[in-house]
Amino acid sequence: MKRYDIRVRYSFEGTYTVAAEDRDEAKRTVNDDCGLVLGGDIHTTRDDDEVLEWDFCIHPDTRILSLQERGGKGSLPSEAVDFSGRIKELRGDIIDAIRQLLHAHCMKEIRLPEEDYDPVWVIWFGKNGEPYECRVTGLRVTADSLTVLAE
């Protein structure tokens, strides 16, 4: 029987509800005093009046990162891994983070400086796989999307 090395990422996502003086303290509380250990449980070292509750699914999201057949020197991947789902998830996470950042600063749009020494470029691909590029001049948030403003 053959042997395979399969790299896997398990991720848990949930929400902690904490009592804190400000956003920084709330983030510090969760970052420093809350966690999860394999074979253990969701936990906190803070008192019940500081970490009020948490809501996490007990089953992780499973992502196979790579699959290689074991044996001999320089084993090559025996199966191509489809990253399209992960790319879509990362894209959504990036868009959400940008939207949250703009919202936190009471902004709906940001314009990037037009200096020629440090422009921001986006490369995208058409349906036939042909690359296109454009210079990004800003970002605009609407109720349901994030729009890239470009030249």
- At residue 75, the pLDDT reads 47
Per-residue pLDDT of 53-100, as tens digits, reads 878 777 788 877 777 777 645 445 555 666 777 778 888 888 888 888
Provide the β-strand partners of residue 53: 17
Would you list the domain boundaries of the chain? 1-81, 82-151
Rg of the Cα atoms in the chain: 22
Report the distance separating Cα 96 and Cα 8, nearest Å: 25
Per-residue pLDDT of 15-43, as tens digits, reads 888 999 998 898 889 889 888 777 777 77
11 three-state secondary structure: strand
Per-residue pLDDT of 97-114, as tens digits, reads 888 888 888 888 888 877
